[in-house]
Structure 1
Amino acid sequence: MTPGTHPSIPKPTFEGDFQLDEVVSLESGEVLCRPTQHYAMYGQLNEARDNAVLVCHALSGSALVAEWWPQLFAPGGLLDLKRDCVIGINIFGSCYGSTGPGSIDPQTGNKYGPTFPLINVRDIVRAQAKLIDSLGIRKLKLAIGASIGGMQVLEWAILFPECVARAISIGVAPLGAMGLGLNHLQRQAIQLDPKWKGGHYAPEDAPRGGLALARALGVISYKSVELFEQRFNRKPNRNGENPWISTAAGQNGRFDVAGFLDYQGEKFNARFDPNSYISITRTMDIFDPVRAHTSPYAAYERIQAHLTLVGISTDWLFPPEDIRSLAAIIGAAGVRCDYREMASLHGHDAFLAEPEQLVRLLTPVFE
């Protein structure tokens, strides 16, 4: 595949909902009543049902894997729909079909809104396992994901070791203090918006200013200093605004980087919900695969899958040295665990910004 080309996007062979009939107990001690998971399938399960690939999405992704990671399906990509059945499952807390803050709470008849319970990555994976089991799949050929998707992959390998043959977790380790602080500030940006109204806003009057600012802060954490200097440096905004001259309203213009960040926030507003953003960033904060186990060794020795951890050279949200260290700890527990690293200026976003490089990096895993 030629770098920069965009493959045609395959359509799902199935898209629908899976409802859990029972009350689901969560790690937080709260419950979800009869929650729903929205999922999509590409390709067909074979007779043995041993060709299933689970692709776990990142914060703003969805079950429609081919729409946000199309390069994985391209000729020479990691996935081949003549061979693989690819499954995407939208996580709890999202606004793309699964139960989240915008859903109706059966216990009250009202939207959850800010009362949506705290979701742990383990809660997500346990629910996904029930959906996968309902499809007659006993073992996943591969589980792959990046960011919060990579968190899900690692939990799959620990919680259901006999159900995963290969696992690839990209750009993931438990968040450090800097990442936790940035997520806190993003939530504060939303909650300090005058339209927040305690989280009980109307969809048509949501705290869009706060969400746009939160997303702009997030975008900064997803990129690298080198990339921003290369792209923007101290250039004035490309639409002709001059940051050194005041306008008639007494305001200054913008530098080019400010215009870029403002645009990212505005674009995000059109497709995401503020309460969902708060819910999912909290889920990322509390990810800790060792918690609830007696030791790191006790957690990681459960893994039976061939595990690959991928770091990104300029990722300062999930630094590569943290992921390299995690790979060493997991390997010391007797797990087949290898570490690979993307050399990219795109920071944490590299798995989306340079997917062709990721494919080249991971192809040897399957040889």
Structure 2
Amino acid sequence: MLHEVLPLESGEELVNPTLHYAVYGRLNAARDNAVLVCHALSGSAQVAEWWPQLFLPGGLLDLERDCVIGINIFGSCYGSTGPQSIDPATGEVYGPTFPLINIRDMVRVEAKLIESLGIARLKLAIGASIGGMQVLEWAILFPERVARAISIGVAPLGAMGLGLNHLQRQAIMLDPAWKGGYYGDGPQPEGGLALARALGIISYKSVPLFEQRFNRKPNRHGEENPWISTSAGQNGRFDVAGYLDHQGEKFNPRFDANSYIAITRTMDTFDPVRGHESPFVAYSRITAHLTLVGISTDWLFPPEDIRSMAAIIRAAGARCDYREMASVHGHDAFLAEPEQLVRLLTPVFE
């Protein structure tokens, strides 16, 4: 817990916020072997649980050599201060009143945590999606504190991504159980959250992947017929519909609707050059060896956007290389094909 008032860029503040973190391995005597791994939207500080392939023999991380740190982001429901936390000003759960947190706010507090662990400089900061946003902000805000930085599948969201995030939040808020966000310990808006997650899943995948997996097949190996009404007067589902419904339903037990809204708003507001005189001024601050990774079929964060950002960063005088995963898995490729990601990034360390 930080025993202080944390001012936010939104003009609001957090009082005595808490960051939940996990550490794998040990710091060496020189304290120069620290690796920060930043998680995606629904991830947690438990890096080894959601990205275990990074720790396998031949992977990017070696616990005999590296001290790996995962930090749960503000707004999450996995330990750090978020909508389910108590607001010290009211003594009540924040719920929908949880303040807007941007990526820069997160990174500033993460830096305080890293400093409290006696780490002056990170050997590496790596993350994907909203985790990659944090990595890029680390490289800009604290250039002297990051040696290498790898940001995967990230650029400021375009209009399509912003629109999809808006619709996901609307799906939650239109659920009768939403109650203005004050559902408390009662039933949360499970239908709305499930629908929001299903919409999110579509944005994380690709057209080729869905065509390959589902095409126009009926659900449950043909047991549900989309062309015939059931006894309830509803049609059966296509396979893709069954998959998306299942993804939404299994998300409910492990996440919170207010957290989902808070974190998607954080993603929306990511803009690493905002507040700087120009992109060149912002990116010229970077001294880390920065690697940006695009994914060939990612339409949420198109690879051409990331490639263009890499070119601007290089033009600003920073060391930045661009690499691209060739995958049908869309934005989720960093989780779906981690072995390929490891192969792609291994040369960065040679």
- TM-score by shorter chain over 0.5: yes
Map 1:55-204; keep pairs closer than 5 Å: 55-204=37-186
Question: 1:222-252, CA deviations, whole angstroms, 9 ceiling, x for partnerless residues?
Answer: 0000000000000000251111110111110
Tell me the CA shift for residue 212 of structure 1: 0.2
Counterpart of 1:285 in structure 2 is 268
Residue of structure 2 in register with 1:261 after alignment: 244
Matched ranges for 1:198-213 at <5 A: 198-213=180-195
Q: Are positions 1:298 and 2:278 aligned together?
A: no
Q: Deviations over 1:331-353 (max 9, x none)?
A: 00111100000000000000000
Q: Which residue of 1 aligns with 2:23?
A: 41
In 2: Cα distance, 1:298 partner to 1:94 partner: 32
The residue identity in structure 2 corresponding to 1:196 is W
* Deviation (angstroms), 1:137: 0.2
Identity rate, percent? 84
CA displacement at 1:270 relative to structure 2: 1.1
SS in 2 for 1:36: coil
8 Å contact from structure 2 (residues 95, 184) kept in 1: no
Work out the CA distance in 2 between the residues paired with 1:107 and 1:288: 30
Amino acid at match of 1:94: S
1:230 and 2:226 correspond: no
Match of 2:224 in 1: 241
Shift of 1:50: 0.3
Counterpart in 2 of 1:219? 201
Kindly report the root-mean-square deviation, in angstroms, between the aligned alpha carbons of the 2 structures.
0.5
Aligned twin of 2:254: 271
Note the C-alpha offset of 1:204.
Answer: 3.8
Which of 302, 305, 316 is the aligned partner of 1:319? 302
One-letter amino acid of the structure 2 residue matched with residue 285 of structure 1: D
Letter of the aligned partner of 1:292 in structure 2?
G
Structure 1 residue 152: Cα displacement? 0.1
Cα displacement string for residues 236-275 of structure 1 (whole angstroms, at most 9, x for unaligned residues) = 0025111111011111000000000000000111100000
1:21 is aligned to 3
TM-score (norm 2): 0.99
- Find the aligned partners of 2:251 and 2:80 in 1 and give their Cα distance: 19
| 2:318 equivalent in structure 1 | 335
Letter in 1 for 2:82: G
Secondary structure of the 1:348 match is: helix
Partner residue, 1:8: none
How far off its partner does 1:295 sit? 0.3
Deviations 1:4-50 (A, max 9, x none): xxxxxxxxxxxxxxx11110000001000000000000000011110
Aligned counterparts of 1:186 and 1:179: Cα–Cα separation in 2: 11
Report the Cα distance in structure 2 between the residues aligned to 1:49 and 1:209, rounded to whole angstroms. 47
**Whole-angstrom distance in 1 between the partners of 2:315 and 2:2:** 37
Aligned to 2:115, the other structure's residue is in SS state: helix
Deviations 1:93-151 (A, max 9, x none): 00000000000001100000000000010000000000000001000000000000000
Letter in 1 for 2:291: T
Give the whole-Å Cα distance in 1 for the aligned partners of 2:92 and 2:317.
49
* Matched position secondary structure for 1:54: strand
What amino acid is aligned across from residue 331 of structure 1 in structure 2? R
Higher mean C-alpha deviation, range 238-247 or range 33-42 = 238-247
- Show structure 1 runs of 5+ residues with no match: 1-18
Normalising to structure 1: TM-score of the pair? 0.95
Letter in 2 for 1:56: C
Which amino acid letter does the alignment assign opposite residue 321 of structure 2? D
Runs of 4+ with >2 A deviation: none
For 2:103, give the aligned amino acid. Answer: V
